[in-house]
Structure 1
Amino acid sequence: MAARIGDSEIEIPIPDLRMRKRSAPVFEKMRERGESFLVSVLSANRITDVSQSAYKALHSPSMRTLDMWRLKDIEKAVDRLALAKERGERVGLVTDFDVDGISSDVVMYRALTEHLGFDESQVVEYVNNRMEYGYGFNDKVLDRVLSTEDTPTLLITADQGSNDNASVILFKEAMAKRGIDYADVIVTDHHHINVGETCADAAAFVNPQRHDCEFEDKTICGCMVALLFMAAAHRTFTERSIIPADTPSVQHLLTYASLATVADCVSLASEYNRFVVRKGLHDMNQGVIPAWQVLMENRYKSNAALTSRDLAFMLGPAINADSRTGGDGSDALNFLKAKNLDDARAAYAALTKRNTRRKDIELSMVEVALADASEQYYVRGYRGISIYLPKGSHGIHGIVASRIKEKFNCPTIIFSPVDVNEKDHAKRELTASARSIDGIDIHSIMTEVQKDMPIKFGGHPMALGVKKLTKDLFPQFQETFDKYVKEEGVARCGDAKGLDHLFFPFVEVDHLIQENELNWLRNVNTLGEIAKLEPYGQRFELPIFAINGVFVNSSRFGKSNSHLNIIFKDSMDNEHVGVLFNYERASFVSQLVIGKMYTFAFKMEYDSYKKSIGLQIESIAEGMNNLKTTR
């Protein structure tokens, strides 16, 4: 079916509706524990462990069992920081440009200057400029550090650095030439580590992804790693009397880690991550810092408590827009570090302006990318989609990759020139962002691609960055990437027959609402039941329900009439209105015929205007009970 994107009609598959796999033992155990039918269903669709500890992690997560000292090298990191304090060294914070990196900077800056006895003049912040330097502790970032007057002698990375030992060596060598033989780098990160990388020349390498790291949760974000380092330093500094014994702890900085945890899309099935987000949301709704007070002023729904969705879809994109539109991270830092409401409001206004510009750029890139992706999917039969946008912005292509991945359910990489102003030529250097789908490890795939082609990359199994590819090699890259994606798919499915199912878009449905359950849609207490399992997010998605109904009519609304009210009647002749945002991008709209029966999939949310449950349409499938099985 075709969807309209800008001025173009593009063929895009209509997503399947697939029932989530439900663990019967978990469902039965939840009912035994007195949970409602709905809570039991949602739980059984998300976990398979029936133990009491799993139940506790779901409903009342804690960090009581967390042992930060199990992070490999954390003691080395603390000892080196203590030495810096003793010597009066300057410390440089070298962090990534996204929400995780920005939050890490704020956590470490505040911890060092407010809790660990460092003067503000001793701490220098180096947030990567996405457009100028790119990702990682690379040559350009190193040049920036070394050009600083009174260069810091101790650098601490956060949310990056795992694959940058070469820069660690160069930094130490450059400082040694200046007569400083004690310069060091502490690497803190959470990204996957490339084969052969060990950060052997760093004073400490703190990353739960290390094969020799015994820390119990590999899914924590980079900001959380940085916070645990600061917490360990605080404990050691007080024990050694480096700072007064009554110095307040860094626990209140957990509020920043909650933002990073949601925005960086780490797993919310993790007990620690669930605790971090719950605690952070509590602090945000209490307005413990000016930034959170401003966030509440600008939330989607007035008088409603902030949820993980506000972080994922409102604040996270606004902060990321700073770097995506050429900013240096200062607007984001100024917002999170603001000490009064006026400063926080001014910084948030700047971020909002940047985010509006980001949306405009994104829309134009998505239109071009979707047309290319459709041709690759339907004509060439590619299931690993790689797209070159000669006029694309590499600050935006990660978002564009996500949009394409969602439409086709195929691993997607978006390339654009490192320098968009450079004259076109065969050896033009490209940079890219990649996004993958559940069950397909794109990090593993790129490891295979790298054996065939001269590229560099780094990231996670679900998302990564690629660089050093030249334009003349892009066609070869497309074929190579697609080949290894299909091989990974066959390995997962067992044979090639399963690829059509694997690489096809779908919406996972928690429950098909039956006639005797239709009252759920009229009772706002249903939302309270759903909220019992908050927070929702990556690996613990917000529930989606389905209902059989007859399509009655639709009406457009909103700016440029870009949204759609979809009116349908259920089997008991009750009328419902579901909202579909940006309906022209939805491939299933063109199939709707008044009077025909469909299966409607939707999320439930509170409609503050009507003071009732509102339905947000996710997809629509033709016919009754059109729900397929998740394999």
Structure 2
Amino acid sequence: MFEARLIDTSVFAEARSHGLDPLIARIIAGRITSEDSLESILSPQLQNIAPPSVLKDIKSATDRLRLAISNGELIGVLTDYDADGLTSHAVITHALLRFGVSDKQISHWIGHRLEDGYGISETLVDRLLESEDTPDVVISADCGSSDELQIARLKNAGIDVIVTDHHRISDDGPPKSASAVVNPNRTDCLYPDKAIAGCLVSWLVMSQLRQELIDFGVLDGTTPKLGDLLDYVALGTVADCVSLGSSETNRAVVKAGLSLIARQERPCWQVAISHLTSSPKEINAELLAFQLAPRLNARGRIGHSLRGYEYLSASSVVEATDAFTDLDADNKKRRKIEKAMVDWAKPLARRQCLNGGLVLCVVLENGHSGVQGIVASRIVEIEGAPTIVFTAGNVVGTLTGSMRSIPEVDAKALLDQVNNNLPGVLIRYGGHTGACGMTIPKKALAVFSRELQEVYRKTHPRVGPKTRFLVDGELLSEQLTTSWVEHMESLGPFGRGFDQPLFMGIFQVVSVRIVGQDQTHLSLRLRFEGRELQAIWFSALEPSEPAKVQSGDWIKCVYNLTINTYRGQEVSLTIRHGELEQKDNSHA
């Protein structure tokens, strides 16, 4: 359950040689290797981002967009329905407006998760072709790399398609009918950072388009660069769970974007900060990932994502507040649906684990397809195994699934191998290392699951299901201070590939209260080496369950550290896991 995080000794030595505290050095050395740059962790720089001109096909993309702008053609912006897609939509639209494109020259196309499914889908293309204002050129973002069939339909209708994306490309290669496919994960693309999110690909394309418009005299050379749009890129990058460890590019754009968000120059950020924090100083990657992104994603899970785009692009605080209120209401609905589905999925997943399952395939046929991914993530947290949650597909006789994986297992590579071994069993699939989506025939579920287990067994013979917490060590009393926490937080942004520091310790419970709307959280005062600390333990209980710890108990727990600003400045523990510990009270 608790494991000490392994460290790269050469990174630790290098960090110490820079004068870093031993614990800070250990935190870093547990997250990167000697192949990574320590400087990129300590001080990621925007100037080190590879130029967009390195991206394959970007010249074809910007040439076509330049002609569309010069000729007054209608440009369709088509993006995915999640936070990466919505922020990509905002980046492209704001950039085009800055380049002199009028509102009437832009049409907006955001897929509906339940009605259209992912990407440039058949039903989305149907609507686009049937619309009164059919675009002359479509630029996609965060989707399109696997959609040759539908791109061919658009091409045959006289519509040029520019794909910008970051998802892995199938063995068939980029869609041949597209005018351009800008994706760093193309095998023939020399862009050095393959871990960037779709919103950053969009930003790079728009940045290159700006330069081309200047070079051709369409724009004045004083036209502002697009650095102020990195706030959107930061949100989309964090939300899409791409690496914040090995990628200096992602660290740099997130760090820059967080600073922009804290400045509150857009109404959407003013509203987010007023509703989700008590101070702009609390804006960090974790808040974006666990507070704001879920609200954006919630509308896409149970409704239409356009409201999320309207929130991001609101021109006034009133507009942003109205949109945020809608997103917040959707998020509350999503949480209720999620809880019911997790409760349904847990015993099914447990049974598969007990029967030797290595990749869990949980079928919730009457479940809500928009919440599959979150439920899969919860099962991964509980069982420590890659998990696919299936619900009934839009087409009769099919199942759609969302897969979430563990750090050691590349989800997309696993599905690629299954697809190679059993051609046709995956009607459609795509994604990246940590997450994938798919559609399979319902009748093929058993054979798909068997093949998935077999591929996993061969490719990961030593990686079995296990719930574990990788801890960075135990802290001394003098390290439980606001100044030390601030020092630690300066290592951020934290996220996938560069996890928030996690510590282990044994504390005595001074007091405990059950809190939260559904009475499932615990608020505690803990004693450690003669001092008291505040702690919160989210989802510690089931509804109506009594507190599992009492005053006087000793508790061994894994926790993150934060600064609670609600009543001044106080160190607070966020407990991730806890269990009772037998200990003599005389040591309190």
The answer, yes or no, to whether TM exceeds 0.5 is yes
Contact 2:471 2:504 in 1 (8 A): yes
Partner of 2:564: 607
Q: 2:53 aligned with 1:69, yes or no?
A: yes
Q: CA deviation at 1:82?
A: 1.4
Q: CA deviation at 1:560?
A: 3.3
1:311 to 278, 283, 288: 288
Contact 2:514 2:520 in 1 (8 A): yes
1:52-111 CA deviation, whole Å, 9 max, x = no partner?
xx2321122112132111101111111111122233211111110000111111111111
Letter aligned with residue 460 of structure 1: H
Q: CA deviation at 1:575?
A: 4.6
1:507-548 CA deviation, whole Å, 9 max, x = no partner?
1101122xxx21212x21111111120111111111011113
Contact 1:106 1:337 in 2 (8 A): yes
Contact 1:548 1:624 in 2 (8 A): no
Q: Secondary structure at the match of 1:511?
A: coil
Q: CA deviation at 1:201?
A: 2.0
Cα distance in structure 1, aligned partners of 2:542 and 2:209: 50
Q: CA deviation at 1:162?
A: 0.5
Q: 2:83 aligned with 1:99, yes or no?
A: yes
Compared CA separation, residues 556 and 107, structure 1 to 2 (3 A): same
Please report the TM-score for the alignment, with normalisation by the length of structure 1.
0.87
1:286-321 CA deviation, whole Å, 9 max, x = no partner?
101111111111124446431111110111000001
1:529 to 487, 497, 500: 487
Letter aligned with residue 115 of structure 2: E
Contact 1:17 1:621 in 2 (8 A): no
Output aligned runs, 1:105-184, within 5 Å: 105-115=89-99, 117-175=100-158, 183-184=159-160
Cα distance in structure 2, aligned partners of 1:397 and 1:438: 19
Higher relative contact order (CA 8 A, sep 6+): 1
Partner of 2:176: 200
2:274 to 297, 312, 328: 297
Contact 1:165 1:197 in 2 (8 A): no
Q: 2:12 aligned with 1:55, yes or no?
A: no
Cα distance in structure 1, aligned partners of 2:404 and 2:341: 16
Q: Secondary structure at the match of 1:322?
A: helix
Cα distance in structure 2, aligned partners of 1:18 and 1:397: 29
Partner of 1:6: none
Contact 1:26 1:50 in 2 (8 A): no
Partner of 2:10: 25
1:582 to 511, 529, 539: 539
Cα distance in structure 2, aligned partners of 1:92 and 1:253: 20
Compared CA separation, residues 50 and 369, structure 1 to 2 (3 A): closer
2:443 to 466, 469, 472: 472
2:479 to 505, 520, 543: 520
Q: 2:208 aligned with 1:232, yes or no?
A: yes
Contact 2:541 2:547 in 1 (8 A): no
1:405-441 CA deviation, whole Å, 9 max, x = no partner?
111111111111124xx9xxxx622111111111111
Q: CA deviation at 1:280?
A: 0.8
Partner of 1:564: 522
Letter aligned with residue 315 of structure 1: L
Aligned structure 1 segments of 4 or more residues deviating by more than 6 angstroms: 589-596
1:14-56 CA deviation, whole Å, 9 max, x = no partner?
xx111111222222322222222332222222222388xx232
Q: CA deviation at 1:326?
A: 1.9
Q: 2:358 aligned with 1:383, yes or no?
A: yes
Q: CA deviation at 1:244?
A: 2.2
Contact 1:549 1:568 in 2 (8 A): yes
Partner of 1:395: 370
Q: Secondary structure at the match of 1:298?
A: helix
Contact 1:411 1:485 in 2 (8 A): no
Letter aligned with residue 412 of structure 2: H
Cα distance in structure 1, aligned partners of 2:407 and 2:450: 22
Partner of 2:261: 284
Q: 2:382 aligned with 1:407, yes or no?
A: yes
Q: Secondary structure at the match of 1:395?
A: helix
Letter aligned with residue 414 of structure 1: V
Compared CA separation, residues 67 and 624, structure 1 to 2 (3 A): farther
Please report the TM-score for the alignment, with normalisation by the length of structure 2.
0.93
Compared CA separation, residues 429 and 524, structure 1 to 2 (3 A): same
Contact 1:449 1:484 in 2 (8 A): yes
1:87 to 47, 65, 71: 71
Partner of 2:586: none
Give the gaps of 5 or more residues in structure 1.
1-15, 176-182, 494-498, 626-631
Cα distance in structure 2, aligned partners of 1:304 and 1:236: 38
Q: CA deviation at 1:373?
A: 0.6
Letter aligned with residue 505 of structure 1: T
Q: CA deviation at 1:592?
A: 6.3
Cα distance in structure 1, aligned partners of 2:345 and 2:275: 32
Q: Secondary structure at the match of 2:276?
A: coil
Partner of 1:365: 341
Compared CA separation, residues 77 and 374, structure 1 to 2 (3 A): same
Give the gaps of 5 or more residues in structure 2.
584-588
Q: 2:435 aligned with 1:463, yes or no?
A: yes
Q: Secondary structure at the match of 2:469?
A: strand
Q: 2:413 aligned with 1:444, yes or no?
A: yes
1:173-192 CA deviation, whole Å, 9 max, x = no partner?
133xxxxxxx3111110000
Compared CA separation, residues 544 and 81, structure 1 to 2 (3 A): same
Letter aligned with residue 379 of structure 2: I
Cα distance in structure 2, aligned partners of 1:286 and 1:318: 21
Q: CA deviation at 1:566?
A: 4.7
Partner of 1:320: 297
Q: CA deviation at 1:250?
A: 2.1
Contact 1:18 1:507 in 2 (8 A): yes
1:125-176 CA deviation, whole Å, 9 max, x = no partner?
101111110001121121111112131121111000011112121211133x
Q: CA deviation at 1:384?
A: 0.8
Cα distance in structure 1, aligned partners of 2:281 and 2:168: 37
1:571-591 CA deviation, whole Å, 9 max, x = no partner?
x454545321111269xx998
Partner of 1:268: 244
Cα distance in structure 2, aligned partners of 1:558 and 1:305: 21
Contact 2:534 2:571 in 1 (8 A): no
Q: CA deviation at 1:623?
A: 5.7
Cα distance in structure 1, aligned partners of 2:454 and 2:160: 42
2:452 to 447, 471, 481: 481
1:212 to 179, 188, 195: 188
Compared CA separation, residues 374 and 590, structure 1 to 2 (3 A): farther
Between 1:203-212 and 1:30-39, the stretch displaced more is 30-39
Contact 1:98 1:320 in 2 (8 A): yes
Q: Secondary structure at the match of 2:143?
A: coil
Letter aligned with residue 564 of structure 1: L
Contact 1:97 1:127 in 2 (8 A): yes
Q: CA deviation at 1:557?
A: 2.2
Compared CA separation, residues 315 and 597, structure 1 to 2 (3 A): closer
Q: What RMSD in Å do the two structures reach over aligned CA positions?
A: 2.3
Q: CA deviation at 1:251?
A: 2.1
Q: Secondary structure at the match of 1:232?
A: helix
Contact 2:84 2:240 in 1 (8 A): yes
How many equivalent residue pairs? 576
Q: 2:482 aligned with 1:505, yes or no?
A: no
